[in-house]
Amino acid sequence: MQTEFKNKTVAVMGLARSGMACCEVLTALGAHVIPYDGKPASEMAAAVAAAQALGLTPVVGGAELDYSVLDYLVTSPGVRKESSVLQKAVAAGVPVLGEIEAAYRIARAPILAITGTNGKTTTTVLLAEMLKAAGIQTFTAGNIAAGEIAMPLIKAAFLAPPEAAIVAEISSFQLEWISTFRPKVAALLNITPDHGDRQTWDEYVAAKLRIFENQRAGDAAFVSESFLQSASALNAPITLGCFEENTLGLDLSRVKLPGSHNRENILAAAAMATAFGVGIEPIRQVATTFTGVVHRLEYVDTIDGVKYVNNSMCTNAAAFARSLEALPEPKVVIAGGVYKGGDIAELGKAVAANSVRALVLIGRSAPEIEASARAAGFQYIHQAATLLDAVTQAQGLAQAGDTVLLAPACASFDMFRDFEDRGDQFKAAVRRG
């Protein structure tokens, strides 16, 4: 595959999942790759070994890059935009590319891209399944954690032939460093406060809108009706469509996914699939048979008449409220972790309004969540030292016909490796008891 990166010197910053994929793909494309990470080698032995296995020499531990030799710097989404390494590259005139920008530049297959605060993963998997049901070879990629079905976008771009399709979940962080990234079909599902620890609200909204900025006539773009006016301010010569209208006449009563928000996810995927040329039958088949994605309102088990549901992916206030609304029966809710920003009072209001029998709290932000619930008039609150303790308490509080729901509303890094580890530990605790 001939690309602009052949024989160029490219630094790859950040040696986690997407960064290592960039090292692998760019090396295969004939680039001279310099892997870079600010962490010391002792904290990233596996990544250093993987880079060395590719014949590369990592620069780690805060050592300086020689910007004079670089043709490009490709950054991972986990690296903050204000990083001194990135800003020095800009000052030196080195083009800084996000991983998805580099991916787009090598892609031969069309990219269908989905962003938003909530619902991205479910919509991405739904859309991919609709394309597969239509007989299209489909690669699921991007900022998606859904078991083993996904890969970094740059790897999908490298592997996918022209006749295939790439369906990609895209985050606001990934959109910070694009310049030509242009999806054939794009959707912005929703925007509510999130990532306040890294982006201001205005920066967050602006980053999300960038998914449309390079689209042109003949591409397709979808937003929610509530966001149509804001998105219409874009300079891109595209027509924006709304995805909430059930123009295909789907029988939503047959949908197996719980919650009105999942109806919106189905309609968004259906609108995107239709814009890509998929017929109604594959769309209907997937819409009515799809049962969900791991860690997203994932049914775990029913024990002594109590249902257990894992929604570990719920990491902000809007997702928390939607999780509770999706399960109208009485609930014992396990929440907590590190709250990422936004009005924490919204958590208490959601608890008070959604048939919660009891709230069991874990993690660093447990005191603030408790205060928000009490301020909303909710008093049935318990504290737990560990997730196993929380599950044990929830089992004692729940009654037959109830649901025990893990809906953290918070990031996981105070107690767990990531949200997947948190969800897996919840499931193990449920099945243990």
Question: How does pLDDT run across 74-90, given as a tens digit for each residue?
Answer: 999 989 999 999 999 99
Nearest-angstrom CA–CA distance, 118 and 100: 20
Q: pTM of this prediction?
A: 0.80
DSSP secondary structure string, 361-410?
Answer: EESTTHHHHHHHHHHTT---EEE-SSHHHHHHHHHHH--TT-EEEE---S
Phi-psi sector, 254: left (phi>0), alpha (psi -120 to 50), beta: alpha
Nearest-angstrom CA–CA distance, 255 and 250: 9
User: Is the distance from CB of 273 to CB of 250 less than 8 angstroms?
Assistant: no
Nearest-angstrom CA–CA distance, 114 and 175: 11
- Going along the chain from its start, the domains and CATH numbers come out as 9-94 (3.40.50.720), 102-289 (3.40.1190.10), 298-432 (3.90.190.20)
Order across the sheet with 240-242: list the strands.
150-151, 138-142, 165-169, 111-115, 185-188, 220-223, 240-242
| Residue labelled with tokens 């924490």 | 344
Residue type, 277: G
Residue type, 389: D
Output the tens digit of pLDDT for each of the chain's 433 residues.
Answer: 889 999 999 999 999 999 999 999 999 999 999 999 999 999 999 999 999 999 999 999 989 999 999 999 999 998 999 999 999 999 999 999 999 999 999 999 999 999 998 889 999 999 999 999 999 999 999 987 655 567 999 999 999 999 999 999 999 999 999 999 999 999 999 888 666 667 888 888 889 999 999 999 899 999 988 777 666 666 666 777 888 778 888 888 888 788 888 889 999 999 999 999 999 999 999 999 988 888 888 889 999 999 999 999 999 998 999 899 989 999 999 999 999 888 999 999 999 999 999 999 999 999 999 999 999 999 999 999 999 999 999 999 999 999 999 999 999 999 999 999 999 999 999 998 6
Nearest-angstrom CA–CA distance, 100 and 98: 5
Work out the burial of residue 365: count CB atoms within 10 Å of its CB; fewer than 13 is exposed, 13-18 middle, 19 or more buried: buried
Closest CA to 112 of 152, 178, 167: 167
Task: Quote the tokens at residue 385.
Answer: 């030292």
> What does the DSSP 8-state code read for residue 67?
G
How far is the CA of 269 from the CAs of 178, 221, 249, in angstroms?
Answer: 24, 12, 14
How far is the CA of 341 from the CAs of 24, 56, 196, 376, in angstroms?
Answer: 35, 39, 5, 19
The vertex-78 CA angle with 65 and 36, nearest 5°, equals 20
Strands 111-115 and 381-383: unpaired
| Phi, psi dihedral angles at 140 (to 5 degrees) | -100, 125
Nearest-angstrom CA–CA distance, 303 and 225: 41
Residue type, 47: A
Task: Quote the tokens at residue 387.
Answer: 């997730």
Closest CA to 274 of 126, 84, 147: 126
How far is the CA of 405 from the CAs of 321, 401, 418, in angstroms?
Answer: 12, 13, 18
Order across the sheet with 306-310: list the strands.
298-303, 306-310, 403-406, 331-336, 356-362, 381-383
User: Is the distance from CB of 243 to CB of 273 less than 8 angstroms?
Assistant: no
How far is the CA of 16 from the CAs of 24, 141, 168, in angstroms?
Answer: 12, 16, 19
Nearest-angstrom CA–CA distance, 99 and 142: 9
Task: Quote the tokens at residue 382.
Answer: 């318990």
265-291: pLDDT as tens digits: 999 999 999 999 999 999 999 999 988
